[in-house]
């Protein structure tokens, strides 16, 4: 399994995720390790919406990091 530094992940998020809200969600999830439920409360979204955002954004981010 490939491991990436936080700075690599943050750089990829900044470059490839265009929505400001989604960038904040991804940093909170991938770098800060915040779970789905607290993210849903913080961003006033459902857990399902947060999971969908994280999944889609991860596909974009890690496609470019390979």
Greater confidence (8 vs 65) lies with: 8
Phi–psi pair at 12, nearest 5 degrees? -65, -40
Q: How do residues 17-43 score in pLDDT, each as one tens digit? A: 999 999 999 999 999 999 999 999 999
In CATH terms, 6-65 corresponds, of 3.30.70, 1.10.10, 1.10.3470, 3.40.50, to 1.10.10
**How does DSSP assign 6-64, residue by residue?**
HHHHHHHHHHH---HHHHHHHIIIIIS---HHHHHHHHT--HHHHHHHHHHHHHHHHHH
User: What's the whole-model pTM score?
Assistant: 0.93
Q: How do residues 39-66 score in pLDDT, each as one tens digit? A: 999 999 999 999 999 999 999 998 988 7
Residue 2 is predicted with a pLDDT of 81
Is residue 46 within 8 A of residue 60, CB to CB? The reply is no
Phi–psi pair at 45, nearest 5 degrees? -130, 165
Joined together, the tokens standing for residue 24 give 């904040």
Q: What are the structural domain ranges in the chain?
A: 6-65
């Amino acid at each position: 399994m490939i491991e990436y530094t936080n700075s690599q992940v943050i750089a990829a998020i900044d470059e490839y995720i265009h929505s400001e809200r989604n960038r904040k969600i991804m940093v909170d999830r991938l770098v800060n390790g915040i779970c789905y439920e607290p993210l849903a409360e913080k961003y006033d979204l459902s857990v399902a919406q947060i999971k969908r955002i994280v999944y889609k954004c991860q596909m974009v981010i890690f496609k470019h990091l390979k």
